[in-house]
Chains A and B, each alone.
Chain A
Amino acid sequence: MIMSLRKNIAVSDSGFVFDPSSGESYSLNPIGTEIVKLLQQGRSHEDIIRDLTGKYDVDDATLERYYYDFIGMLKQFNLLENGE
């Protein structure tokens, strides 16, 4: 199952994330912003990981570990929902 970003979450180019249901806001670094924007487009985790490993100087295992750690955080903050 794909976890995508909740529909009403607003993400700005500066990495500012606003959850209008809870009123909470978060600040992301550039990589975080990039991942969240890709999630917003409905891309799968595998797809995003492939994209990032191709783009940045990082090995698959390290990126995967950090990626799922980040996804866990997004889940914890209730920013994700089950996709199609």
Chain B
Amino acid sequence: MSKLKLKLAATGLNNTDNPGPGVPVIRSIRESGSFSMEVVGLAYETLEPGIYMPGVTDRTYMIPYPSDGVEALLERLEYIQSKEQVDVLIPNFDAELYTFMKSSERLEKMGIRTFLPTLAQFEERHKSNLPRFGEKYNVPVPKSRDILSYQDIEKLREDFEFPLMVKGKFYDAYLAYNEEQVRMHYNKITAKWGLPVIIQEFVRGTEVNVVALGDGTGQTVGAVPMRKQYITDKGKAWGGITLDDPAMMELTRHIISKTQWRGGMELELIKTTRNELYVIEINPRIPAWVYLAVGAGQNLPEALVKLALGMEVKPFKHYDVGKMFVRYSYDMIVDLPRFEQLSTLGEVEPEKSSKSI
């Protein structure tokens, strides 16, 4: 039987110490063997490692930052589409998702399919909206509040106990033991991500995570729970292990069913010593550690592509418990002309000696 042809576009090629999910997502879909595929990388920076890694992307195009607006992005994607005829696009950054969701109809008209959460789903799980989300769907969440100024910091003492978490809208989270530390983190976060800054009650316990995929009708296509075993100073998993935790699975299915979640999702949870679970974040995309789920038996990126193509996908029933991943860093040698081509023309040709990873 001949394989289905697929041209996939993906962002998040930044396989750095704060890795984007692009490379593991591409790797998972390539390794699924379901498609005869070509991959178009979409990059924001010329030094994103996935551009140069052999067997990851076949071509890469620079795209404008989300801050440049929807039109700039669509114009660029129209150009890319005129050359590539992309079938499915998987955006992998929180900060760009809004732009892609807003543009999904226009992308569809260009022939590019996505499988993303709806704008309502995206908005209501925002860190700022988490308390309302918890109330609406009966999900335990820590107390949290948006702060917009120094004056708000002074008022925190009335409702919060220290230490507390100070978080950026999209990324970054710091523990603060006093008001001075809140101010320090507030400045750092606003400079990078803008307002609001989110203050969250600090729940003591172990951080555990779930990668999951919802089909948009309330059904959980797959879900794999994991505990980070090795965490970098940026809080990213450098090693992790799959867990056998029915309560985490139940909570995931509950959230996907109640929200009718569409697309990839990462749940960040705290498990207290009394085994209570608190949802601290819901990331509306596949996480960078997704390849662990693939290794444990659930190729969620492949399933996501099939859903985007309107194919039938049967829910996964099993995953291996005790499967581990260990990340590593690796130096590549890159010839200057490839970097030059990307820097000057905004696109780079396939490397002839590419081998699949």
Interfacial residues, chain A to chain B (CB-CB below 8 A): 8, 10, 18, 20-23
Q: Does B322 contact A18, Cβ atoms closer than 8 Å? A: yes
Sorting the interface of chain B by its residue count into under 10, 10 to 19, 20 to 34 or 35 or more gives 10 to 19
Give Cα distance in the complex from A2 to B254, angstroms.
35
Q: Which partner residue on chain B sits nearest A18 by CB separation?
A: B322
Considering only residues 312-335 of chain B, those with a C-beta below 8 Å from chain A are 321-322
Q: Does A21 contact B245, Cβ atoms closer than 8 Å? A: yes
Give Cα distance in the complex from A22 to B226, angstroms.
9
Interfacial residues, chain B to chain A (CB-CB below 8 A): 206, 226-227, 229, 240-245, 321-322
Interface of B is mostly: strand
**Given A8-B244, A23-B226, A23-B229, 18 further pairs, Cβ under 8 A:** A10-B322, A18-B322, A20-B243, A20-B244, A20-B321, A20-B322, A21-B243, A21-B244, A21-B245, A22-B206, A22-B227, A22-B243, A23-B227, A23-B240, A23-B241, A23-B242, A23-B243, A23-B322
Give Cα distance in the complex from A20 to B245, angstroms.
8
Give how many A-B residue pairs fall within 8 Å (CB-CB). Answer: 21
Residues of B within 8 A of A20 (CB): 243-244, 321-322
Give Cα distance in the complex from A60 to B95, angstroms.
65
Give Cα distance in the complex from A8 to B244, angstroms.
9
9 A-B interface contacts by CB (under 8 A) = A18-B322, A20-B322, A21-B243, A21-B244, A21-B245, A22-B227, A23-B226, A23-B243, A23-B322
Give me the 10 closest cross-chain CB pairs, A-B, nearest first: A20-B244, A23-B227, A23-B241, A20-B321, A23-B243, A21-B245, A18-B322, A20-B322, A21-B244, A8-B244
Residues of A within 8 A of B229 (CB): 23
Residues of A within 8 A of B226 (CB): 23
Residues of A within 8 A of B243 (CB): 20-23
Q: Could you tell me the distance in whole angstroms from the C-beta of B240 to the nearest C-beta in chain A?
A: 8
Q: Which partner residue on chain A sits nearest B243 by CB separation?
A: A23
Question: Which of A8, A10, A18, A22: most chain B Cβ within 10 A?
Answer: A22
Residues of B within 8 A of A18 (CB): 322
Q: Could you tell me the distance in whole angstroms from the C-beta of B226 to the nearest C-beta in chain A?
A: 8
Give Cα distance in the complex from A74 to B15, angstroms.
39
Give Cα distance in the complex from A18 to B241, angstroms.
11
Residues of B within 8 A of A23 (CB): 226-227, 229, 240-243, 322
